[in-house]
Amino acid sequence: MSGGDQVESVAARRWRRRRAGLSLVEVLMALVILGTGLVVLIAAASRCVAVVRKVRNLETTRELFGRVEVEKPIWVEEDIEDAAGQGSFTGEYSQYRWRRDIEGVGDEDDGLWLVTTTISWSDRGMENSETVVTYVHWPKTN
């Protein structure tokens, strides 16, 4: 091995030692990639929480539709128009309200009625509602 080879290998070793660490640009790029990944992960988790909240509200409204039918049934009224009304719930469902509208469909003699029941509530300052529409055959009795 000649003296020139020793000089090159010493210079090559020094260059390799300087390259052993990461440059500032490489560190910044790694932070950008990591930050972007965290933002996407947090956004996905937030959407999952929103979906869970929506499903919980829909399940609650389904239960409350049943309560309206049990507490204010259409069938006990003498005239179907008397079943229309509105109200609220008590206890843990105090932020929920209900409304039932009834309108005739077609000729009065047909006895077909459109019953629209709406449950509404306020969630985080936003008004939400779910509606169930049914048709009821209730012939007029003379």
pLDDT digits (tens, 9 = 90+) for 2-36: 555 555 677 767 666 666 677 889 999 999 999 99
What is the average per-residue pLDDT within 63-92?
Answer: 89
DSSP H helices in the chain: 3-19, 24-71
State the pLDDT at residue 142. 57
Q: What are phi and psi of 110, to 5 degrees?
A: -65, -35
Q: Could you identify the residue written with the tokens 């009065």?
A: 108
pLDDT in tens, 124-133: 888 999 999 9
**Cα separation, 100 vs 89, whole angstroms:** 14
pLDDT of 117: 95
